[in-house]
Structures are given as C-alpha cells and as structure tokens.
C-alpha cells in the first residue's frame, strides 16, 4: 500500500493483523517518537486524530469499491470491510463533534 497506493486486501482478519505487524517501520517509529516529543494542544491532537481516521476511512472505502468491482470477491469479506468503513465514518463524525473550545 505505501509503495503503490493501491489497497492490499487481506483474505482474512488474521492476515490483516499479520500485514499490519509487518508495516511497523523505522519511519513510523520516528513519526511516533516525534509526536510524543512535541507539545500540542488538545485541538491539535483532535486535528491529528481526524487526519488519521480520514486516512483509514478512505482506505477502507477504496477496498470496498475494489471488492465491489470484483465478481469473485466473497460477500462476507465485502461486508466486513464495509462495516469497518462505517465504523470509521462514525468515529470521524464523533471526533468532529467534540468541542475543543
């Protein structure tokens, strides 16, 4: 995904977990260390969280669209990705509603 921007659709939740474990990189470690080292206010933390949730939401939407275009894709796999996309959408909406003033 990072190299080609094309979603990788794991065949099962276990495969997704394994794939995510492999994605931990030096770049990610540096980013997380940087985020922890800087002092940001609550509003900035909210904005960062929104960016990350939107990114995940778009990824899940892209996977659902790709699976919907694949006649061989199992319907239960499409449903799982769509449910998670909906959860991320609701998460984003809830984060947007949090009043940080």
Question: What is the average pLDDT value for the chain, to the nearest integer?
Answer: 86
What was the pLDDT predicted at 95?
Answer: 97
Q: Which residues are CB-contacts of 9 (< 8 A; sequence separation ≥ 6)?
A: 63, 66, 67, 77, 81
Please name the helix (run of DSSP H) or strand (run of DSSP E) that holds residue 7, with its range, or none: none
Task: Give phi and psi for 5, each to the nearest 5.
Answer: 65, 10
What was the pLDDT predicted at 81?
Answer: 93
- Distance, in Å, from the CA atom of 76 to the CA atom of 55, rounded to the nearest integer, reads 23
**Per-residue pLDDT tens digits for 33-54:** 998 999 899 999 999 999 999 9
Higher-pLDDT residue of 101, 23: 101
Structure-token pair, residue 8: 């990788």
Torsion over CA: 84, 60, 86, 28 (sign): positive
Higher-pLDDT residue of 17, 98: 98
Four-CA torsion 39, 43, 49, 50, nearest 10 degrees: -150
* pLDDT of 1 over the 50 cut: no
Record the pTM: 0.72
**Angle at alpha carbon of residue 7, lines to 4 and 10, rounded to 5°:** 125
What was the pLDDT predicted at 68?
Answer: 93
Beta-carbon neighbour count of residue 85 at 10 Å? Answer: 20
């Amino acid at each position: 995904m990072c190299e080609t921007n094309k979603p990788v659709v794991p065949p099962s939740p276990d495969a997704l977990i394994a794939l995510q474990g492999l994605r931990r990189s030096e770049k990610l470690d540096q980013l997380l260390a940087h985020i922890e080292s800087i002092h940001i206010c609550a509003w900035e933390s909210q904005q960062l969280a929104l960016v990350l949730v939107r990114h995940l939401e778009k990824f899940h939407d892209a996977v659902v669209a790709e699976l919907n275009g694949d006649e061989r894709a199992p319907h239960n796999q499409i449903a799982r990705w769509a449910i998670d996309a909906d959860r991320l959408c609701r998460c984003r909406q809830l984060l947007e509603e949090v009043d940080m003033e």
